[in-house]
Structure 1
Amino acid sequence: MYGLTTTDHIPVSMTINVDNLPDCSRSTEDGANGVKVNWAKQSKEDVMFYCVRTDVLLREVQLPMDAILCSNINCDDDTHCNDLGEMYNSIVSAIYEASRPLHTHPRKVKNTKPGWTKYVAAHQEAAKTAHRAWVIAGRPRQGPELEHKKLTHARYKYAVRFVGKHEQALRAHSMAENLLGNNVTEFWKEVKATNRAKAVLPCHIEGVSGGDNIAEQWRLHYAALFNCIKSEPYCVGKLKEEVIHFTPSEVYHVIEQLADNKASGKDNITAEHLKLASPRVAALLSICLTGLMTHGILPDTMLTVTLVPVIKDKAGKIGSLDNYRPIALASILSKVLEKMLLDRLSEFIYTTENQFGFKAKHSTDLCIYALKEAVESYRRQGSTIFLGFIDASKAFDRVNHHKLFTKLKLRGVPGCIIRILVYWYAKQHMQVKWGNSLSSPFSVGNGVRQGGLLSPALFNLYMDSLSKQLGKCKTGCQIGNTLLNHLMYADDLAIMSPSTVGFQQLLDICSEYGVEFDVKYNAKKSVVLICRTKEDQKLHFPTFYLSGQSLCVSYCTKYLGHIITDRLEDDADMYRQRRMLYVQANMLVRKFHHCSDDVKVRLFRAYCTPMYAAPLWVNYKKETMCKLQVAYNDCLRILLEKPRSSSASKLFCDSGLSTLQALLRNLMFK
């Protein structure tokens, strides 16, 4: 230690009893082995080396000729299944081994402060060199070696103090240099480093402490949730269809569409592993996946999903199970297979026009707009409208597998696709990761697959029958030649009717569908809005019931993140946006006040100009818009540290930012 240190601190040895300290671990997203590849920091030579190495290792993958040439879709030869599993594992192993020289192991070191390389690193090295020379000279108490050691050490300590004292200014200068150099990636990396702190996991969850114990607590929680629906195993039977073939070009195209910088599954393979590998990987995967489809099986590593609980409300109870949502980490190769299956299923799993969720060229804005226009159309004609916003508890997690596969069969989905999904859903197992602790695996009996690309489409299909039943009902809003009585965005359902009898009829249809297809509605979170006309303001309407429970009548609710009132006024939603503006501006000025004006303008554009559902604001008071404009102007003044008396128009003009009115016009016609 004394031979390497460049400080004059004296070490102290002591023994501390820490048996009763709580276990506080940090959240982690590293792979199962704690290693990962930082592809952004790899040089072109490293990437080329990885590509060549994958090509060499993939050449060694043994092809089970009997299994891959087998065209019997009902083949039950265990040897074929085992050989295909070994081939898949060999491909994964080759990809992983090729990237091993690029692995970075997590080290518990302090983050490098901004400016360290520029101002400190050289002095640190000089101090170390002088210290070694002084030690070699016999640690003299006087002479040139000691004087040189003291001088270099003093310069090093001064540089450390300088960096620590000017840390924020140096970070701001670094961001400004990245911005001027058009280095967007490094700029936003600096922003995230300033704006984000790694969350410390709570020590107790529902009274349970200790990483391993909490992980098992989560396992019990999710095992109960994903096995709460009893259903009979689905029997596919003998198939008569032809084998589905995946081509290398198809696999290559799907790989190119994968998102980068995502966490890996248990196999530690990311999208970059596949994108930067030799083209040989696409050919081998096409052969292997075709063989797996032919025999209706999948490897174990593709069936494993790791769940990571993430807190939903930091201001809520952090020790409550209900305040967390699971993030699923699945194998990237499973997503490749799912994407190719999704392309083949698109012609079978279409849904009604009332479903807006997970569809191309559809958005939450469009769904909200359709709802408000339908209601406003009836209000203009002097008719009261009843709106119901139905909440389904854990809708994605309560899907009945047997009934889902039955729906797929009724749609004419090829039997080999249904068979592989049946195998996938029956054999999948999950584990819960809490910090560095990993729970034991558990099976899954209901719910669409966590983290799957197919899951949204399958859920839409599962709920499509409800949409059709509601559509067949002869009550609702007649818009031209179209009867509109409901809108759906995935599991968010809104129903509407101009009559109380018709509205209750729609609720009864939802209740009956819930009983038949295991959809559990939450009457406490479901809300009824009565958009009254002036003549009906004093009328008393009957109580409405959903699944035998009465529904609460409110004057406003939040639907798809947009606040809707019984008078269709947008003042409440604009107030929400005004509060959000001040929150963002205060956060920016607190964390980035040392930055240059150019950096602050870029941050203002990124954090303050996006205004969700702003194009839907049509019915509001002039005073509300004025307050929003004042807030928008004030936020720029706050961030740029300008007095409130300064001209907002000049600030927006000089910074190249849009005024509020120009911004709203751009959002509306975008």
Structure 2
Amino acid sequence: MFPETTTGIQNSNIVIEDRHPTNTSDHTLVTANIPMKIDKTSTQLVKIYTRPNWAKCDTNIYTSTLKQELECESRRKESSVEERIKLLEKSIHKAGKKSIPKYRQLKSLKTVGKGIWNRKISEASRDSKNAHTLWKRKINSHQNADTEKINLTSKKRKLRQLQRQAYASKKEKYINDIMQASQKDSKTFHKLVKQQRSKHDTNTDILYIGNKAFEGEKILSAWQTHFETLGTPNFDENIFDLERLELAKLQNKIIPELDIQNKEITKATPTEIESAIRKLNTGKASDENGIVSEHYIHAIDVITDEITDIINQIFEELDVPQSLKNGILTPVLKKKKDKTIPGNYRGIVVTSIFSKIFETIIKDRLEPELFPSQNTLQRGFTEGASSLFTAFIVSETTMLYKFLKIVLELLTLDAEKAFDTVTHEIMLNKMFHDGIRGDMWVLLKNIYTNMTLQVKWGDQTTQHVNIQQGIRQGAKLSTLLYKRYNNTILNSITGSHLGAKIGTICVASPTCADDIALLGEPQDIQAMLNIIEFHTKRDMVKINPEKSEVLCTSKGKNYQQKAYTLGEKQINRVDKLKHLGITRNVKSKVNTDERLKTGRQTIYALLGSGLHARTGMCPLVLCKIWKTYVVPRYLYGLEVQICTKADIYELEKLQRKIFRQFLSLPERTASSALYILLGAEPVETILDRNMLSLFLTISRLDNAIEKKILQWELEIGKDFTESFINRIDKILNKYSLPNPKEILENPPSKYKWKNMLKKAINIYWSNIWKEECLIKTTIKYLTIQENPTENPHNIWKAARNNQNDIRKAEFKSRLITGTYMLQTTKAKFSKNQISGICELCTRAEEDIKHFLLDCESLESVRLKQMNKLLSLTELKGGGDKANYKEEDVLQIIMDCSKLSTTSLSHLKANDLIEIEKQSQNFCHQMHKERTKMQTR
């Protein structure tokens, strides 16, 4: 409760309630009646519509109905664009209702807690209530209620037992669904795994704007106030230089009247429209009219001509309908921020699907015109580039300056609400000077005139908010327009010849979207900050000096610490900072501890107690989850940093520990066995692969600044040992691949390179693991599969996705890795204080051969299971079972796929898997019988 709502409290009556019969917890209910005066709030009925199930859509009915509807509306071409779009969407919904079962039905929300309710729990709950009534009756009449109390306790225990069983069944079903989906349905697999992620409630009951608090229904008005303020330009002369704005306004009024501007927009073609529709992302939220991308994609052949005609009408009339200017804005909380402050949210806008198609057409036409003048240091929202490219430039510059022993400062700038504060007049003026003329410029102006948004919070939306500044995060054109907006700053810094250089290549301000970093010697940094201050004031953009940071990444000789200011405020100097998700420090070392923590937290958040095979989930599925969700997070950005052997060892150590947990194997298990069984790559290879992937991506970009850096490093040669090109050279030599110069000059295709690298990695690790299998006696029976870094061992291939098979495979894994506790193992660990003689037959030492082939006490089980195994082997073409040697039989039991078992070397993979299944049954039955006899 908050002070605003607790005024008027008079007194309170606190009551400790009797324990309810269904209360199976250790807690007792306490109630308090507190009279209070608070504002009455009303609740709005939640209306949630089901998403159309496109898997059940009858495409023929959908397209034919839509075609018929479009043909019937002959008056469409005489209507306004707004009306035509509405009629189109109405026809789409009509076709959807006819072709998709239960199309957009109102969802009924399930009561919380009923997810596990069943008939048995219902009966047990009723019995518990009745027992409680009888006990209470006896207590109230002052009679002996001991019998009733015992009965009540029994009934409550039964209820709790059934509830736990229901939860366990639900969890088991969830695990089975994940395992089945991992093989057949990738989309469902990712959906199920994401359900397991911890869900943090980002909705808040209170918002603070300044010192004023907003609660209940007032939260919606708080959001409206916040985004209205954000969407209104600030004309404070003390903060911004308004001369640029006034000049832009004056020029923008003249531009439409210039004769040279009579440049019409080329008509859209059906091919363009079809391409734009295919670029739509599927599985996304519906727009405010209930339309999703699939509505257009499934009817692309029918709907393309109509959309082409509507868009050409817009191009001709230059009148953008209001429906294409509207959007639904959802506030998304930034990571680790206070959820009661509106400024800590990022406004993500969902625009109409038609608007996405329309803006894609415009974007595809503008990009080829604008790309040649884009600053080469802007790597955000650029085809073929990513944030790693910016991080690559920072890393290579740092390494070079360290090598040359020159002082280098890294300064990261924090732009305040960068997308939300773009001034429309200045943006349009910049587009004109960048070469966008004629009707296209007028069309852009009309798109950003009278733009509105509705803020969605929970199940409610605000009134339309007029947006006079800012570009919508989530709209197709926004990324392109923002790049042009801050292009002036980057060009000014590059043209000043200030800042860091690699050879003659200027790398002073590597940028990813609105994340600008400055690199330079101390004497240059302040001058670059002055340039940024000048342009941001003119462009009406705010840089927050308090959140901006500076770090010395290379101290060089005679380093003296300097202070830098932006305006009148000093930039914070730090020992480490995070830039584009990568932590950088004074010594340029990898933040290993932080990454290990990230890896552990991610896997436990996804799986929790399901991190072991014995919980019922197949290790191959667990490994897939690890590779898909965890590895990209905890190894992110290491390809552009220098990892020492110690760093790789620590990262590898975590992965091995997790794999042992997946397989339920002890710490003493050979590391190579873990990778062979799971068909997984060591961390060393993952990092090598990521580095090579980045290198190949750069080598295919002809005019990219990153490629120029690599070519310069190639010319420098081996002296600069820590350069990216020299590290790549070592990796290529390691896997016997072509040298960097060959690849840079003639990069192979993606398909060719993928196969080449995959083959090289498998050969490399296959050779290493074969040597280990020869040296280590614990894994001498273990076969290395073909393509071992991506091909799981037959032991786990043979295990179906159920708990019985997983237990058998887990036991077999212990046998083949030498971690199953036999008497000889106990004797070895106890330094012969425990005898190695078999406790069952007491005739010989109990090693693996004795246990599986010789122990007389297990003969009855052995004969039955051995006959099944060898008969199956003979049936599959493994030769006469009577001719098998003892060592061959043992190898068939342990791992029938080993090539040295010559009688089976010619069998197909499926036959070997069937034999492996039978050998797992054999080993498991032997284990059960041995355990049973030992416990007698």
Aligned match of 1:645: 668
TM superposition score normalised by structure 1 = 0.81
Q: Is the 8 A contact 2:273 2:304 kept in 1?
A: yes
| Cα deviation, residue 287, structure 1 | 0.7
Aligned match of 2:735: none
Are 2:659 and 1:636 aligned?
yes
Q: Is the 8 A contact 1:34 1:105 kept in 2?
A: yes
Residue 572 of structure 2: which of 521, 527, 552 is its match?
Answer: 552
SS at match of 1:426: coil
SS at match of 2:370: coil
Residue 336 of structure 1: which of 331, 349, 357 is its match?
Answer: 357
Q: Is the 8 A contact 1:176 1:596 kept in 2?
A: yes
Aligned match of 2:710: none
Aligned match of 2:382: 359
Over 3 Å counting, the alpha-carbon distance change for 1:186 and 1:389 in structure 2 is: closer
Aligned match of 1:99: 96
Residue 520 of structure 2: which of 479, 497, 511 is its match?
Answer: 497
Letter of the 1:410 counterpart? H
Letter of the 2:353 counterpart? I
Map 1:349-428 → 2, pairs under 5 A: 349-350=370-371, 351-428=374-451
SS at match of 1:609: helix
Q: RMSD over aligned Cα, in angstroms?
A: 3.3
| Cα deviation, residue 190, structure 1 | 2.5
Residue 584 of structure 1: which of 572, 591, 602 is its match?
Answer: 602
Aligned match of 1:266: 288
Residue 56 of structure 2: which of 28, 43, 53 is its match?
Answer: 43
SS at match of 2:281: coil
Unaligned runs of 5+ in 2: 1-21, 23-32, 123-159, 236-244, 694-936
Over 3 Å counting, the alpha-carbon distance change for 1:254 and 1:463 in structure 2 is: same
Over 3 Å counting, the alpha-carbon distance change for 1:601 and 1:381 in structure 2 is: closer
Letter of the 1:92 counterpart? E
Over 3 Å counting, the alpha-carbon distance change for 1:111 and 1:185 in structure 2 is: farther
SS at match of 1:521: coil
SS at match of 1:274: helix
Map 1:208-607 → 2, pairs under 5 A: 208=213, 212-230=217-235, 234-235=252-253, 236-238=255-257, 239-277=261-299, 279-313=301-335, 316-350=337-371, 351-498=374-521, 500-533=522-555, 535-536=557-558, 539-567=559-587, 569-572=588-591, 574-590=592-608, 592-593=610-611, 594=615, 595-607=617-629
Q: Is the 8 A contact 1:264 1:330 kept in 2?
A: no
Q: Is the 8 A contact 2:320 2:447 kept in 1?
A: yes
| Cα deviation, residue 161, structure 1 | 7.9
Q: Is the 8 A contact 2:194 2:606 kept in 1?
A: no
Distance 1:340 1:278 in 2: 16
CA-to-aligned-CA distance 1:565-601 (integer Å, 9 cap, x gap): 233x2322x3322111111232244153432323212
Over 3 Å counting, the alpha-carbon distance change for 1:115 and 1:34 in structure 2 is: closer
CA-to-aligned-CA distance 1:151-179 (integer Å, 9 cap, x gap): xxxxxx99998544422122212322333
CA-to-aligned-CA distance 1:304-348 (integer Å, 9 cap, x gap): 1111112223x5432222332222111111110111001110123
| Cα deviation, residue 249, structure 1 | 2.2
Map 1:13-32 → 2, pairs under 5 A: none
Aligned match of 1:624: 647
Distance 2:36 2:353 in 1: 41
Q: Is the 8 A contact 1:256 1:275 kept in 2?
A: yes
Q: Is the 8 A contact 1:178 1:184 kept in 2?
A: yes
Q: Is the 8 A contact 1:311 1:323 kept in 2?
A: yes
Q: Is the 8 A contact 1:23 1:203 kept in 2?
A: no
Letter of the 1:48 counterpart? N
Q: How many residues end up aligned between the 2 structures?
A: 594
Letter of the 1:335 counterpart? K
Over 3 Å counting, the alpha-carbon distance change for 1:542 and 1:354 in structure 2 is: same
Aligned match of 1:86: 83
Aligned match of 1:72: none
Q: Which has the larger displacement, 53-62 or 656-665?
A: 53-62
Over 3 Å counting, the alpha-carbon distance change for 1:657 and 1:112 in structure 2 is: farther
Letter of the 1:171 counterpart? Y
Letter of the 2:64 counterpart? V
| Cα deviation, residue 400, structure 1 | 1.4
| Cα deviation, residue 243, structure 1 | 3.7
Over 3 Å counting, the alpha-carbon distance change for 1:318 and 1:25 in structure 2 is: farther
Q: Is the 8 A contact 1:24 1:201 kept in 2?
A: no
Aligned match of 1:56: 68
Distance 2:68 2:168 in 1: 52
Distance 2:686 2:403 in 1: 30
| Cα deviation, residue 648, structure 1 | 3.1
Letter of the 2:488 counterpart? S
Q: Which has the larger displacement, 640-649 or 285-294?
A: 640-649
Letter of the 1:624 counterpart? D
| Cα deviation, residue 113, structure 1 | 9.4
| Cα deviation, residue 508, structure 1 | 0.6
SS at match of 1:511: helix
* Structure with greater Cα Rg: 2
SS at match of 1:524: coil
SS at match of 2:547: coil
Q: Is the 8 A contact 1:251 1:336 kept in 2?
A: yes
Over 3 Å counting, the alpha-carbon distance change for 1:619 and 1:229 in structure 2 is: same
Distance 2:688 2:116 in 1: 42
Q: Is the 8 A contact 1:23 1:209 kept in 2?
A: no
Q: Is the 8 A contact 1:575 1:628 kept in 2?
A: no
Over 3 Å counting, the alpha-carbon distance change for 1:381 and 1:165 in structure 2 is: closer
Distance 1:198 1:24 in 2: 26
Letter of the 2:298 counterpart? L
Distance 1:191 1:21 in 2: 42
SS at match of 2:107: coil
Q: Is the 8 A contact 1:555 1:566 kept in 2?
A: yes
Over 3 Å counting, the alpha-carbon distance change for 1:580 and 1:23 in structure 2 is: farther
SS at match of 2:476: coil
| Cα deviation, residue 559, structure 1 | 0.8
Q: Is the 8 A contact 2:233 2:423 kept in 1?
A: no
Unaligned runs of 5+ in 1: 1-8, 10-15, 68-81, 125-156
CA-to-aligned-CA distance 1:179-201 (integer Å, 9 cap, x gap): 34x22233333223333548472
Distance 2:285 2:548 in 1: 35
Distance 2:226 2:280 in 1: 31
Distance 1:18 1:267 in 2: 42
Q: Which has the larger displacement, 463-472 or 222-231?
A: 222-231
| Cα deviation, residue 525, structure 1 | 1.1
Distance 1:578 1:260 in 2: 34
| Cα deviation, residue 390, structure 1 | 1.4
Distance 1:22 1:557 in 2: 48
Structure 1 or 2: more helix by fraction:
2
Letter of the 2:601 counterpart? V
Q: Is the 8 A contact 1:37 1:99 kept in 2?
A: no
Aligned-pair identity in percent equals 20
* Structure of higher RCO (CA pairs closer than 8 Å, 6+ residues apart): 1
Q: Is the 8 A contact 1:22 1:210 kept in 2?
A: no
